[in-house]
Amino acid sequence: MKKYYEDLKKIEDFTSFDRTQLLDYIHRQKFEASALCAADPEPFALPPTFWVELDYIIGLAKSVSENKKDDFAETVMPLMQEKIAVIQKIMKKLPENEFFYLKKDLKTFEEIFSHASNIIGKKLNYFLPFSLFINAIDSMTVLYPLREKGCDAGTIARNNYDILLARYLAGDFSPQLVEIIDYFIWVQAVFSKAVDKDKLLFREEIVHRLTAFIDKESDFTNASDYSAKSFVLELHEVLTDINIKSRIQELLNKIMGTKISVGECLRIITSIFIDPDISGNANVFRDITIASDLASSVIKHIKEGNNSAMYEDIALSKAMKSYFLQVSRYMLDTRIDMEVCRLFEIMFYLEATAPSFIMHDDIITLLENSIEKFENQKESMAKALNRTFDPESAELFKAKMKQVYAGKI
């Protein structure tokens, strides 16, 4: 919550057009709006690609307006039309006194569409107020078009375990490699909405990024810690910088020489780190059990006043946090995802209050609500997977993640 209010204050004082300074706030607003839409009553789930498609459409509207193209009606309006009904449903779900900037931007989108529809309907396309559209888009905060940075990559890749895991593992080698994966994820999400000119630009940008990665001197600083992590995370071969770059070169050669889908490109990159055909469901079942057990353990140790055990709970949460927040949460629906995020926020708060470990009743209530949702999710997954929890596997996973975390401190 502290970070949320810090970001909110940053927006109140914001005077720059560089929205990348607000990414944490922008991503969180979109995620929380999606979670609210999925909540009762009358739940409806937004597709993982919704926010990036909306971002692309807004960016396209601005680009066409800046060039004063007469194809606004043909290229932009059909795409806007697709989103209007969904936007209206989102607006009904958002609380009255929250999401001010998101609601303002959604309303701006509606107004641009309505204004353009009215003029185009009268066959007065040459009177479209392009400068008005540009100014309206430039005034946006949460929905200002940021292309691949407009939404966190995990949200776009939700339920794609192999991509999420490969992206997580790639982070131990190079931030540049993660950025490449993120760009592929984004292109795949918006490709069906993109105009032909942009599709060509996507290809050029992909070639540029892959070439720059191959040419850059290696800086795989954390690769030496990889063996411990690989014990748990399905790494199927020993990786070196030469190995990774040779695989990226193979991908670049395929892109230059043949027509290849974005999905196939992602599969090739994923296969550098893991078997792309693995199923993550068993691991997600393990992870949700660990989360539920951690929340239960915290409540128990707080009530007992067992400080030494509390420190152990905090150590476990710190070791598991990056994996849970980059992989596990995105394999769950947005409602359970929010509970996972809340659990780690509470653990961060508890660490800050050590050694007294202040735990108010409302926080205990939040944890109890999370446990209930975790347990319901476990029960549902157990039936779907036809399996029971393997405590030995969970303990091994926790021990190894602690080992990996300790190696990075």
What are the beta bridge partners of residue 274?
Answer: 235
Amino acid letter, residue 154: G
Number of domains in the chain: 3
According to the model, what pLDDT value does residue 156 have? Answer: 96
Phi-psi region of 278 (alpha: psi -120 to 50; beta: other; left: phi over 0): beta
Question: Nearest 5 degrees, angle CA 165-CA 166-CA 172?
Answer: 100
Residues 132 and 169 in one domain: no
Range(s) of the domain holding residue 268: 155-273
Q: In the chain, what's the furthest Cα-to-Cα distance? A: 74
Residues 296 and 253 in one domain: no
Residues 29 and 167 in one domain: no
Return the sign of the alpha-carbon dihedral for residues 292, 295, 297, 299. Answer: negative
How does pLDDT run along the chain (409 residues), one tens digit per residue?
Answer: 555 556 666 666 666 668 888 899 999 999 999 999 988 788 899 999 999 999 999 999 999 999 887 689 999 999 999 999 999 999 999 998 899 999 999 999 999 999 999 999 998 888 999 999 999 999 999 999 999 999 999 999 999 999 999 999 888 788 899 999 999 999 999 999 999 999 999 999 999 999 999 998 766 655 555 544 554 445 545 566 778 889 999 999 999 988 899 999 999 999 888 876 666 788 899 999 999 999 999 999 999 999 999 999 999 999 999 999 999 999 998 999 999 999 999 999 999 988 888 888 899 999 999 999 999 999 999 888 887 778 888 898 898 888 878 876 6
Residues 32 and 94 in one domain: yes
Residues 134 and 13 in one domain: yes
Residues 116 and 245 in one domain: no
State phi, psi for 274 to the nearest 5 degrees: -140, 170
Residues 134 and 209 in one domain: no
Residues 51 and 132 in one domain: yes
Helix axes 281-304, 334-353, angle to 10 degrees: 40
DSSP per residue, 204-252: HHHHHHHHHHHHSPP--TTGGGHHHHHTTTTB-S---HHHHHHHHHHHH
Residues 208 and 241 in one domain: yes
| Pick from 145, 151, 139, 146: nearest CA to 33 | 151
- Answer whether 277's CB lies under 8 Å from 166's CB: no
Amino acid letter, residue 403: Q
| Pick from 118, 53, 132: nearest CA to 87 | 53
Residues 121 and 24 in one domain: yes
Is 92 in a helix, a strand, or coil?
Answer: helix
pTM above 0.85, yes or no: yes
| Pick from 238, 232, 332: nearest CA to 278 | 232
Which one of 217, 250, 273 terminates a domain? 273
Residues 206 and 254 in one domain: yes
Residues 292 and 400 in one domain: yes
What are the beta bridge partners of residue 155?
Answer: none
According to the model, what pLDDT value does residue 228 have? Answer: 44
Which one of 103, 122, 151 terminates a domain? 151
Which one of 96, 117, 151 terminates a domain? 151
